Every structure is written in structure tokens, then in C-alpha cells.
Amino acid sequence: MSPFGRMPESDGSLGILAILSVLVVIPAALIVNVLEADLVLPALSVLLFSLAAIAAAVAGLIKAEKHVQHVTLWDIAGGLAITGCAATVFGEPDQAVQLFEHLFERSEKR
């Protein structure tokens, strides 16, 4: 008998969670390693809001149920949006301005 007892049936949500985790962790790690410390929180908030919008769009396209007992893409989109709000609140407004100046300077140099 397994030391974990009876394992629950998998509905594929573990695979989706793994994919979404990779979609968050890889860009977040790049942001932390590439940008200056002052620009990290605004960049993370932009990333999280973007991922929340993508998750909500996918949930709408696949017509994911909204009022169920398990976690859905709608819940994940909401969690990403709330986390993006938290990153925005902890950041300073001038840091967001610096981020967009930094991004536009890079695009003008090309």
C-alpha cells in the first residue's frame, strides 16, 4: 500500500499548473536578472497583468465554467491580477516611469 494512502484521480490540472508555473517563472527570472533593482516591481506587474489577460482570454475562449468547486483558469487569472496589483502597490510611481523610459530608449536605439 502507498504511504500516501489513496491518491485522488487526476483531471489534468496538475499539468496545466506546471505549464502556467513555467510561463510565470521563466520571464520573472529574466526580469530579475536583466533589469535594475528599481525596475523589477513595475516590470513584474506588467508581466502579471499580461498573463492574467491571457489566462482570462483563454478561459473565455474555451468557455471555462465559473462557479465550480475546483480551481479554473478564471481563478488563476484573478490570482495573477491580484498579484500584479500587489507588485504595483509596493512599487513607486517614478519606478514605473523609469521602466517605460528604459523600454522606449532601447526601442529607439534599434
> Is residue 70 domain-resident?
yes
- Tell me which range, 2-6, 7-11, 50-54, is most confidently predicted by mean pLDDT: 50-54
Whole-model pTM? 0.74
Q: Vertex 33, ends 28 and 36: CA angle to 5°?
A: 105
Would residue 6 count as lying in a domain? no
Please say if the pLDDT value at position 8 is more than 70.
no
> Are the C-beta atoms of residues 72 and 66 closer than 8 Å to each other?
yes
Residue 11 confidence (pLDDT) above 90: no
Residue 89 belongs to a domain: yes
Average pLDDT over residues 61-89: 83
Q: Is 23 a domain residue?
A: no
Residue 59 lies in a domain: yes
Domain interval for residue 50 = 37-109
If one counts the domains in the chain, the total is: 1
Radius of gyration from C-alpha coordinates of the chain: 18
pLDDT at 104 over 90: no
